[in-house]
Amino acid sequence: MAMGQYIWQDREIRFDAQPRLLENRSGEFIIDSINSVEDTKGNNGMRGSLVVTNLRILWIAHKGKHNLSIGLKTVLNINIRKAKSKLRGPTQALYIMTQDANSRFEFIFTSLVKNSPRLFTTVQSVSRAYKTSSLYRDLKLRGSIIRDQQLILLPLEQVYNKIPDAWNLSSDQGNLGQFFITNVRLVWHANLAQNFNVSVPYMQMKHVRIRNSKFGKALVVETQPRCGGYILGFRLHPPERLETILKEICSLHKIFSVNPIFGVDFHEEESAPSLDALKVARVDDDVEIVDGDTNDAFAAYYAEGSNGSDNKEITFDNDIGLACEKLPDGWNMSSLWNVAGG
């Protein structure tokens, strides 16, 4: 039975995306929204608002169609450094270094409100909360997640079912272990070796179905191609239980799809009076303007040359004694070093 939708929000960077892509998906919620923030790197001099959700950082220009959607998973590190803003002059700015596929992008945001550290604190703490909660979202093999035959629960996690006598079919002989079905993921571990385990969040499941294998009918879990596209097979004893388990997993996944738990939890230490009553809902134009030209907005954000695509061969350099990128004919490392003025 097919299911599973790929969640890109936290894994990708999108530039000048269509407005509907900027809306919160299910399970995504706004943690903080900061007005008057300048995108100092790509749109210097332009005012916009920075929205931090549990999955990504959004920057939306007040005027025009410029916007950014930076998935929290792409963030490599966050720094606070000096930058030159057109609207505020030299000032402290937030530098976000990211990696999307093979390219690195750098983003610089400046808060136009004086003496407001909110921009820095929110983004840094949300990014940290995201990074320390990867078990909610990522497939994990051989992790240290079982202690004394019991699953170490995540803060928002509840175990719904525990199924012993589940055989893993990854190796030829099969391994006896047990399932934990929780509101976030499916965990299997071997009875004999507790670090022989797998933790599959519902978010990463592409298909769950029953298939025939050489061991008979088996529960097959296929993961999203982005996290490896693994196919995990399990056999239950007795086989009749397969259907009920499948049904359970499917319904839990359905619930998860409606209301997913991404693991980023927060509470505001000093909350402003509720703005919900005052908020005027944003009315989107019902006309969607689709750009004919594929935009090149990302060009401004490259942290280095866009050389991610041309991955060159690795060779061993006999002069230095280290591995290096293959050089064109007629060049060697010492001649390159001398040219570079070393």
Positions touching another protein (CB under 8 A) are: 41-46, 76-77, 79, 86, 95, 97, 106, 128, 131-132, 138-144, 147, 170-171, 175, 190, 192-193, 195-196, 227-228, 299-305, 307, 314-327, 333-334, 336-337, 340-342
SS3 state at 59:
strand
Cβ-based burial of 47 (10 A; exposed 0-12, middle 13-18, buried ≥19): middle
* Minimum distance from residue 240 beta carbon to another protein (Å): 27
Give the whole-angstrom CA distance, residue 94 versus residue 81.
Answer: 7
* Minimum distance from residue 44 beta carbon to another protein (Å): 6
* Minimum distance from residue 320 beta carbon to another protein (Å): 6
* Minimum distance from residue 283 beta carbon to another protein (Å): 27
Specify the residue, 238 or 305, whose C-beta has the smaller distance to another protein.
305
* Minimum distance from residue 280 beta carbon to another protein (Å): 29
Residue type, 108: I
Specify the residue, 112 or 327, whose C-beta has the smaller distance to another protein.
327
Specify the residue, 182 or 223, whose C-beta has the smaller distance to another protein.
223
Specify the residue, 87 or 270, whose C-beta has the smaller distance to another protein.
87
Give the whole-angstrom CA distance, residue 263 versus residue 161.
Answer: 20
DSSP of 164-192: EEEEE-SSSS-EEEEEEEESSEEEEEESS
Specify the residue, 116 or 335, whose C-beta has the smaller distance to another protein.
335
Specify the residue, 140 or 253, whose C-beta has the smaller distance to another protein.
140
* Minimum distance from residue 122 beta carbon to another protein (Å): 17
* β partners of residue 13: 70
* Minimum distance from residue 85 beta carbon to another protein (Å): 12
Specify the residue, 305 or 330, whose C-beta has the smaller distance to another protein.
305
Contact 205, 231 (CB under 8 A): no
* β partners of residue 159: 182
Residue 222's closest CA among 41, 6, 10, 19? 6
CB-facing half-sphere around the CA of 310: CA atoms within 13 A: 5
DSSP of 255-280: HHHHS---S-----SSPPPP-TTTPP
* Minimum distance from residue 276 beta carbon to another protein (Å): 33
SS3 state at 137:
coil
Residue type, 25: R
Specify the residue, 147 or 214, whose C-beta has the smaller distance to another protein.
147
Per-residue b or e along 60-94, where b marks 16 or more CB atoms closer than 10 Å to that residue's CB: bbeeeebbbbbbbbbbeebeeeebebeebeebebb
